[in-house]
Chains A and B, each alone.
Chain A
């Protein structure tokens, strides 16, 4: 379908691979830098998960030399996946897509944007160095006294690295908020803004307000570790709950930092690939803000077993309330695809996968919010299952949906749909059979973060481990697809999905300044299925693809 000169043109227009290895203030380059770096960390963290599952194949300690080795392994797995994979990965899509959706030429502060990215490699080196020196063993939550009295020097490096990543996150988020609020074209009011931008706005508000608390907590942890203070040491008059309060005041909102952009992606992908307007657009935008706000009032549900009893009920109530804005989104997604002309593209499949998995993670979240139940399953595999349903079944599925959806815009070439569907099947079922059985072993009482377990659980653990290996294998399919499609995929054209948002109203990949002149957004970013939308799409197609449109 693609004539040779078309091939040539696409190859010249996109940035050279070496451009991605250098300092650049172009948001599209930075977006790809974030994305590739984050995916590399995903592979590292994933390999660690494979080792964890290998160790758990038998009830005894066999693969690891000691329980400590296992502790440091899951500590790094969690740290890498949260701080180095999911959060930067959303910065990747936010960077690439948000300015384009707004019709802007770049982010508000291009230099700061690049600086925020380039803090990540040194931070990663510091964190990973810790693993090879004398690793942290206290889990990604780094509770004292585990992180103060019983963890190696790696814990100090861990805290330093996390500090840098937090600063990077704050700088990135300030940039997003200013870009979204100031750089829209005059025709695009807040209520005409794409929902990904709403989600990134809400995410960034959370990040700027919550991350300084992480900075505070880490500063105290560092002081306790290196300066001999006793902020968290009860023997010296300190308080271990102090860490838990400050840490979760950041880290619970951080859960929404990790999933809200994915919810924004869902609204985009579901609407485009089912050719239907987003159902309840305003409520979806507002529910992002609602989640951001309520997200600050729930942190102590992580401390139900250590909290003063009279504080438990209020936190139980606020935690249950946060299911309301989340439910609004779920309802909106169902309403959006209902009766639509659904195209089962890979992006759509992952979006539907998100819906089915996230609803399970959401419901177990409400179960865990219920105090009596939480105390029963506290620190068991039920909790592990819950947050993987949210962070893998949610965030990672949405990341894949975003990858398949925007890859044509980023590289100018389509991904292979057949491989995409195979990838989806392996990921979906690999994920489901890895994490669903964890509910069961958790209810039966298998504790998390332990390398040995009672032999009764072995069969379940082998099912889980086998499925985890399938899930791990699925990653190779998408890596192969990305590399192959980057070089040999069919030329995408400006708007392969016939979408109405502005990122599709320019060439793929977009030129350095994104748009030749000031783009005028279509009046409704999700107004699919009308005559006017068809006319607009035809105009876009003629403007960018000429008569070479073969789709």
Chain B
């Protein structure tokens, strides 16, 4: 008689289970996004509460951040998210060429975004860093950069998997691509919140 563990291992995934798995993955992703955005909101609360322990914001003697480069970066990120969506739609139609083209471009734009934000992170002035005006910028951009880089790695992984023909137009067989795209939207939304708080709310 086979052991309990063996029986469990031999259980195969049927057709119906595959459909359920996609449904589960989609709901799970939605809940994850709703959940983890709270971590970004927590940092916004940090920024918000620290503002009120200063007489003015930005604190006296600190020049406000210039929003030009971050604005361009934000635009690039938005474009990148739209391109991931376009690529995913291409994949659904079986247009793998469009998928590859869009995702390559999306990754390139993502790289541009990351480079700009890294530049912002590095070039915070000494005066700003002496106050929480500069420190929260580093905290928030740093926290976001970790996510952006991790999820770009996922996008890259999916792109390489696709090169070896891993995905098809059937969404049940290409969840990795759909999931990666949704994670990238998450990065985009999280950044837009940070962007508004850091550069526009005075």
Residues of A in contact with B (beta carbons under 8 Å apart): 12-16, 19, 22, 24-26, 105, 108-109, 170, 173-175, 177-179, 181-183, 208-213, 215-217, 219-220, 223, 229-231, 234, 237-239, 241-242, 245-246, 249, 511-513
Contacts and interface: CB of A to CB of B under 8 A. Distances in A.
Contact of B139 (A170, A223, A512): A223
9 contacts: A109-B28, A178-B28, A183-B24, A208-B35, A212-B42, A220-B46, A229-B135, A231-B135, A512-B11
Given A109-B24, A237-B54, A512 B46 contact: no
Contacts of B49: 239, 241-242, 245
Given A246-B42, A512-B4, A177 B31 contact: yes
Interface in B35-55: 35-39, 41-43, 45-46, 49-50, 53-54
A209 B27 contact: no
Contacts of A181: 27
Contacts of A26: 8
B39 A215 contact: yes
Contact of B28 (A174, A238, A239): A174
B122 interface: no
Nearest to B133: A237
Contact of B50 (A22, A182, A242): A242
Interface of B: 1, 3-5, 7-8, 11, 20, 23-24, 27-28, 31-32, 34-39, 41-43, 45-46, 49-50, 53-54, 59, 131-132, 135, 139, 143
Contacts of B35: 170, 173-174, 208-209, 211-212
B42 A215 contact: yes
Given A237-B132, A245-B49, A16 B3 contact: yes
Given A215-B39, A237-B131, A178 B31 contact: yes
A446 B136 CA distance: 41
Contact of B8 (A170, A173, A512): A512
A186 to B, nearest CB: 12
B22 to A, nearest CB: 10
A216 B46 contact: yes
A174 B42 CA distance: 19
Contacts of A238: 50, 53, 132
A212 B50 contact: no
- The main secondary structure of chain B at its interface with chain A is helix
B20 A210 contact: no
A521 to B, nearest CB: 18
Contacts of A182: 20, 23-24, 27
A187 B43 CA distance: 43
A61 B131 CA distance: 43
A216 B50 CA distance: 14
Nearest to A213: B42
A208 B31 contact: yes
A188 to B, nearest CB: 15
Contacts of A208: 31-32, 34-35
Nearest to B59: A237
Given A178-B28, A231-B50, A239-B49, A210 B8 contact: no
Give 9 closest A-B pairs by Cβ, nearest first.
A216-B42, A212-B39, A208-B35, A212-B38, A512-B8, A15-B4, A108-B24, A512-B7, A213-B42
A223 B135 CA distance: 11
A249 B39 CA distance: 12
Among B37, B50, B143, the most chain A Cβ lie within 10 Å of the Cβ of B50
Given A173-B35, A212-B41, A249-B42, 7 more contacts: A13-B4, A174-B31, A182-B24, A209-B35, A212-B36, A215-B42, A242-B50
A246 B38 contact: no
Contacts of A22: 5
Contacts of B38: 209-210, 212-213
B32 A174 contact: yes
A274 B63 CA distance: 71
Contact of A178 (B8, B24, B39, B50): B24
A182 B29 CA distance: 13
Contacts of B132: 230-231, 237-238
A208 B37 CA distance: 10
Given A170-B35, A216-B42, A238-B53, A511 B135 contact: no
Given A26-B8, A108-B28, A231-B50, A245 B45 contact: yes
B4 to A, nearest CB: 4
Nearest to B8: A512
Nearest to B24: A108
